[in-house]
């Protein structure tokens, strides 16, 4: 059920919907909310007075009768967030999709401590696209291309492309250079990610993750020493797959706060970003089959400007 027209998106975010239980226990909606919402009765009354609770017909009065099985919409109070001081660019736009060229440190979608400072919320707000939704995601610390669906009725068609592995993706990464590694290889392993643990891990067993790894270039940098630039082709989409596979080869991605060891990096520390970029994205049009390919305009700073990467600011 879509939110009521009387309660439009705020900062690009749709209001939260609360379903009312099928029951005759409460005489008013307010009585139900006092026992359910983690706010004081005075705070809930203030929200009613400000017209912040709505049903399908508009704002609710504090004495509005309880509607068994009904719905109430409201905008949640947003947490304080560290502003991410980098823009999210548009690499491609048509009637169906918008491909964002995301900076490092910007989450793809609202989650946890990141709500307004996300690519989805910024793009909805900046481009007036209330129905925009992601067809896939990138880690907050990874930069590059993310495909968003513009129209609600087209979401399924594009999400199915990712589900059916009909989307081609390549990444670039900067690591230390190890001359003992092959210039081209495919890493296969079994990766698991447990809920509540920030890192994934490789365990013995049937592989469920595969990554093609190709050395593009290497050089001796006067600041960083021997470094290498790789093209990565994920054949599967496990959490942190690319980061784990390079770390397992002994060449973790420069700036990685998780692999091989977890480092505590404050959310407002935008120095030395993870040197991983979602560089290309290709997909067939769901209707015509016409192939489309988009290239990121971003670069990896440790390769292009090592001194700037080491001291900031991030471009």
Domain end among 74, 108, 124: 74
Domain annotation covers residue 2: no
Domain end among 40, 74, 108: 74
Answer yes or no: is pLDDT of 97 > 90: yes
The answer to whether 241 and 107 have CB atoms below 8 angstroms apart is no
136 and 93, same domain (yes or no): yes
257 and 215, same domain (yes or no): yes
47 and 128, same domain (yes or no): no
| C-alpha span between 159 and 11 (Å, rounded) | 25
Domain annotation covers residue 253: yes
| C-alpha span between 63 and 66 (Å, rounded) | 9
Number of domains in the chain: 2
Token digits for 227?
């470094």
Question: pLDDT value at position 115?
Answer: 79
Domain annotation covers residue 124: yes
> Tokens 């989307």 correspond to what residue?
167
* 8-state DSSP, 230: E
Domain CATH code at residue 157? 3.30.2350.10
Domain span holding position 130: 89-311
* 8-state DSSP, 180: T
Pairing of strands 225-234, 209-221: antiparallel
* pLDDT confidence band for 312 (50 / 70 / 90): low
DSSP-assigned letters across all residues of 85-121: -SPPEEEEE-SSEEEEEEPTT-BSS-BTTBSSSBHHH
| C-alpha span between 274 and 106 (Å, rounded) | 12
202 and 54, same domain (yes or no): no
Domain annotation covers residue 83: no
Q: What is the pLDDT of residues 20-41, one digit of tens each?
A: 999 999 999 999 999 888 889 9
Q: What is the pLDDT of residues 168-212, one digit of tens each?
A: 999 999 999 999 999 999 999 999 999 889 999 999 999 999 999
Domain annotation covers residue 4: no
Long-range contacts of 205-208 (CB under 8 A, 24+ apart): 208/236, 208/238
The answer to whether 255 and 275 have CB atoms below 8 angstroms apart is yes
167 and 44, same domain (yes or no): no
* 8-state DSSP, 114: B
* pLDDT confidence band for 266 (50 / 70 / 90): confident
**Predicted structure pTM score:** 0.84
């Amino acid at each position: 059920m879509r939110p009521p027209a009387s309660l439009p998106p705020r900062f690009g975010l749709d209001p939260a919907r609360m379903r009312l239980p099928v029951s005759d226990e409460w005489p008013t909606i307010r009585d139900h909310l006092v026992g359910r919402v983690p706010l004081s009765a005075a705070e809930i009354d203030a929200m009613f007075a400000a017209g912040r609770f709505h049903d399908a017909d508009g704002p609710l009065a504090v004495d509005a009768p309880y509607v068994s099985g009904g719905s109430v919409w409201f905008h949640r109070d947003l947490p304080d967030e560290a502003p991410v001081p980098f823009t999210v660019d548009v690499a491609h736009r048509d009637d169906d999709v918008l491909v964002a060229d995301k900076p490092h440190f910007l989450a793809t979608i609202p989650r946890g401590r990141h709500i307004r400072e996300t690519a989805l919320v910024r793009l909805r707000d900046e481009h007036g696209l209330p129905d925009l939704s992601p067809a896939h995601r990138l880690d907050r610390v990874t930069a590059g291309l993310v495909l968003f669906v513009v129209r609600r009725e087209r979401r399924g068609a594009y999400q199915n492309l990712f589900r059916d592995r009909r989307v081609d993706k390549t990444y670039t990464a900067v690591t230390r250079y190890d001359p003992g590694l092959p210039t081209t290889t495919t890493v296969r392993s079994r990766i698991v990610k447990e809920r509540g643990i920030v890192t994934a891990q490789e365990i013995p067993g049937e592989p469920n993750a595969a990554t093609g790894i190709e050395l593009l270039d290497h050089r001796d940098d006067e600041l960083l020493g021997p470094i290498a630039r790789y093209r990565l082709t994920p054949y599967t989409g496990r959490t942190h797959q690319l980061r784990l596979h390079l770390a397992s080869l002994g060449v973790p991605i420069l700036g990685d706060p998780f692999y091989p060891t977890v480092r505590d990096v404050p959310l407002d520390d935008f120095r030395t970003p993870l040197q991983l970029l979602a560089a290309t994205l290709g997909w067939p049009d769901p209707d015509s089959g016409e192939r489309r390919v988009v290239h990121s305009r971003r670069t990896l700073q440790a390769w292009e400007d090592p001194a700037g990467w080491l001291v900031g600011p991030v471009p």
